[in-house]
Amino acid sequence: MTDRPLTLMAVHAHPDDEATGTGGVLARYAAEGVRTVLVTCTDGSCGDGPGGVKPGDPGHDPAAVALMRRQELEASCDVLKISHLELLGYADSGMDGWPTNDAPGSFWQSPVQEGATRLAALMEHYLPDVVVTYDEYGFYGHPDHIQAHRITMAALELTGLNPKVYWTTAPRSQMRRFGELMREADPNMPEPDPAEAEVLARIGLPDDEITTWVDTTAFSDQKYDALAAHASQGENIFFLRMGKERFAELMGVETFLRVRDTTGAAVPEDDLFAGLR
């Protein structure tokens, strides 16, 4: 045993990702005295600008958007009581198929080993006991999420460290419920085209394949407020339309796939630190 605090490191692609998939665990474990480290890989410059102006439209200033989203990210970290925020500073690559995917300096175009080396240095500094990132599909196919997965797994190999490693996921049953809610919110919403349907079908896992279900109901308000801190992206954050009560009902459990473990803790588990304390 050492005096070093238990440490959770979450590696995310953009400002606001920390709240969507891991806001509950970041808030919960911070409240339990765990040191929480957030690594955000990109500047979010392909997000909406003031007034909802979209990337590529007149008036969209990527540098100004990046600054605004940095401020929102810091506000979210304050809400979630995140101990340390680390920024890799890559340019946002945009959604799959956007021209920004190919832009020099974008995260998607950066060599995996370069990002892995930078992330490995942070891992060696913080010595995380638990690392959380996305699966190889980036949860929903976003290039920057896929790249975050790649550099995280490569960084772990570079360091030789053996933390518990988790990929964020969602139960397929919950994904079906989200689809129903979205149609209730907008009855005129068209059915997804075949390409969209294929993407949606790949999100998450069958419920019985999920290894880790963490109850974060007590921290749902913090998670909601962290999402709301990213006000410039509110049009894209469906969950904020639910209101806090419904949000707590539907978002009170965060789920993960455990992909590395040296503790022998039994699964399914209800604690990312099972076997470590």
pLDDT surpasses 70 at 179: no
pTM of the predicted model as reported, rounded to 2 decimal places: 0.92
Among 73-77, 119-123, 177-181, 222-226, where is mean pLDDT lowest? 177-181
Query: For the segment 210-269, what is each residue's pLDDT rounded down to a tens digit?
Result: 999 999 999 999 999 999 999 998 777 777 877 888 888 888 999 999 999 999 999 999
- Please list the alpha-helical segments (H only) found in the chain: 17-31, 62-80, 112-126, 138-141, 143-159, 172-185, 194-201, 220-228, 244-251
Q: What is the pLDDT of residues 6-38, one digit of tens each?
A: 999 999 999 999 999 899 999 999 999 999 999
The answer on pLDDT for 1 being more than 60 is: no
Q: How far apart are CA 71 and CA 211, in angstroms?
A: 35
Cβ neighbours of residue 133 closer than 8 Å, sequence gap 6 or more: 10, 11, 12, 148, 149, 152, 153, 165, 166, 167, 168
- Residues 80-130: pLDDT tens digits? 999 999 999 999 999 999 999 999 999 999 999 999 999 999 999 999 999
Q: Which residues contact 226 (CB under 8 A, 6 or more apart)?
A: 18, 19, 23, 27, 76, 79, 80
